[in-house]
Amino acid sequence: MMDIRYSCSPVDFKRYNTEETRKEFLIETLFVKNEVVAVYSHVDRMVTLGVMPVGETVPLNKGIDIWKNFGTEYFLERREIGIFNLGGVGQVIADGETYQMGYKDCLYLTRGVKDVWFSSGDSANPAKFYMVSAPAHCSYESKLIKIEDAAKKPLGALETSNKRVINQFIHPDVLKTCQLSMGMTVLEPGSVWNTMPAHTHERRMEVYCYFEVPENNVVFHMMGQGDETRHIVMQNEQAVISPSWSIHAGAGTSNYTFIWAMGGENQAFDDMDVIPTTELR
């Protein structure tokens, strides 16, 4: 069954307590053996999914009422999807073509791909497929992007505890998509802050998935409007939904890695409304 999350306004959000904030925006469990975890957000109609196949091949639509949730015959009839592997070696079979995916590899499947299946190379070390899907009004080309082929953008410094590398996968500089953009940011040891200075982008929402968070460590994910922020304490392999009006930044008790996914009206990355750090409240 698909978990449905409805939009909330920034005014209502100011009244949320910890439990309400977590229930509305946090995706606590992404990977369940041989199940498809799916969360449909009415924020830009993005869908966040997780699949961990163990000893069997799992279809993308397992447990999802496609007609009820999307009004289509199959999942990607009017959608595109980005897939990252956060586990052992695995395979994605899309309309008969098999894509071998190692750790941190990314696969983009365009609108119109009908049959999608997932499997692991080793049940003792299963693949963990993390996915975000956005509505699409046109089709481009499906493509596998290995981690070594991602466009790499070093940013930050150890002096400010945010030295990191942004790996661009599903990005206008790498391949054409309808509206979906995805990438992976890796923080170096000694760095804990991401995405500073904080910002919003009114025409694009974002989903973060935190992983490589060491045992007994957490990430404090910041959200809300810049003048009245809230935080969600997140653990390894959890995701969080960020509406366009919300900042999306975080600090960990250790370094970590996260996948960002965006969808909305534009793919330009220079439309951010930056909030000076000293003005955050």
pLDDT tens-digit series, residues 175-203: 999 999 999 999 999 999 998 788 888 87
Amino acid (1-letter code) at residue 97: E
Task: Output the pLDDT for position 217.
Answer: 98
pLDDT tens-digit series, residues 193-241: 998 788 888 878 999 999 999 999 999 999 999 999 999 999 999 999 9
Residue percentage of the chain with pLDDT more than 70: 99
Amino acid (1-letter code) at residue 173: D
Task: Output the pLDDT for position 266.
Answer: 66
Task: Output the pLDDT for position 204.
Answer: 82
The model's pTM is: 0.96
The answer to whether residue 162 scores a pLDDT higher than 70 is yes
pLDDT tens-digit series, residues 144-158: 999 999 999 999 999
Task: Output the pLDDT for position 203.
Answer: 78
Confidence of residue 268 (pLDDT cuts 50, 70, 90): low
Instruction: Return mean pLDDT, the chain.
Output: 95
pLDDT tens-digit series, residues 3-26: 999 989 999 999 999 999 999 999
Beta bridge partners of 261: 182, 207
Contact 113, 83 (CB under 8 A): no
Task: Output the pLDDT for position 269.
Answer: 66
**C-alpha span between 242 and 262 (Å, rounded):** 9
Query: Average pLDDT, stretch 70-91?
Result: 98
Task: Write out the chain in H/E/C secondary structure.
Answer: CCEEECCCCHHHHCCCCHHHHHHHHEECCCCCECCEEEEEECCCCCEEEEEECCCCCEECCCCCCHHHHHCCCCHHHCEEEEEEECCCCEEEEECCEEEEECCCCEEEECCCCCCEEEEECCCCCCCCEEEEEEECCCCCCCEEECHHHCEEEEECCHHHCCCEEEEEEECCCCCCCCCCEEEEEEECCCCCEECCCCEECCCEEEEEEEECCCCCCCEEEEEEECCEEEEEEECCCEEEEECCCCCCEEEECCCCEEEEEEEECCCCCCCCEECCHHHCC
**C-alpha span between 132 and 46 (Å, rounded):** 7
Query: Average pLDDT, stretch 32-52?
Result: 97
Task: Output the pLDDT for position 271.
Answer: 74
